[in-house]
Amino acid sequence: MGLENFINRYKNVPDLRQVISLEKEREFPEMSYAGYIAMRFAESGAEGLRETEKEISSKGPRYNINPSDRNKLAFNYSAVVVGTILEFMADAANTGLYDNPGYVGAHNTRIKESRYYYPLYCDPRDTQVIKNEYWEQLRRLADEDPTLSAIFTRDYHLMTDFIQWHIEQVGNPEYIRGTTLPVYYSVASRLLTS
């Protein structure tokens, strides 16, 4: 289900870079490796979210969601958020622009029809130019940590105010750092730092 599929798909692949390279070039040749693997992670979270919501719905309209179901929802939704943020931060590192409308569109497509998570809204013209000093820091981060995982820890300030607001609205940044990010990193680091 969802993230398990992501992990299992890439876990024991000896030539991971070659497999990802072929997939990426066939489907999204213009996308960076970091953006591609982040997008796949977000899509796996969306798949897990849909499957979990379907399971919950099958238990009937009066079913009280138990802690296990809540945890599955939160874990998969946080993968949507983390993957989508990293997908757009990888692009921002290359362009110096942060595409809030693109982020919102990708997020909303991934959670479409969710009963538990709501769409985001922003001005359709809200593409933000990243200040030169932050863009330089973001490019340096991408060079030092191609997974961009450090953006959720030591370089949190490099995310736009909108993204920081979104993270704080939907959950606990510590949950993301302690639970979701390690799953992403386990695959992304094998691909992007080898």
Domain residue ranges in the chain: 3-192
Any residues with CB less than 8 A from the CB of 66 and at least 6 apart, and which? none
Query: Would you state the pLDDT for residue 64?
Result: 85
CB 17 within 8 A of CB 61: no
Distance CA 86, CA 139 (A): 13
- The per-residue pLDDT for 182 is 92
| Burial of 167 per CB tally in 10 Å (0-12, 13-18, 19+) | buried
pTM score, two decimals?
0.91
Q: Round to whole Å and give the CA distance between 90 and 106.
A: 14
- Rounded to 5 degrees, φ, ψ at 119 are -70, 160
Beta-carbon contacts of 92 under 8 Å, excluding residues fewer than 6 positions away, are 98, 99, 130, 135, 138
Which of the residues in the chain have pLDDT under 50? none
> What does the pLDDT read at residue 194?
63
Which pLDDT value is given to residue 10? 72
Q: What's the chain's average pLDDT?
A: 88
- C-alpha to C-alpha distance for 41 and 80, rounded to whole angstroms: 7
What digits encode the pLDDT tens for the residues 29-79? 788 888 989 999 999 999 999 999 999 999 888 888 899 999 999 999 999
* Contact of 126 with 103, CB cutoff 8 Å: no
- DSSP 8-state code for residue 177: I
Which residues are within 8 A (CB) of 54 and not within 5 positions of it... i.e. 6 or more apart?
Answer: none
Q: Which residues of 72-98 are buried (b: 16+ CB within 10 A; e: fewer)?
A: bbbbbbbbbbbbbbbbbbbbbbeebeb
So what's the pLDDT on residue 38?
A: 93
Find out whether 93 and 141 touch, Cβ atoms under 8 Å: yes
Closest CA to 165 of 75, 92, 116, 104: 104
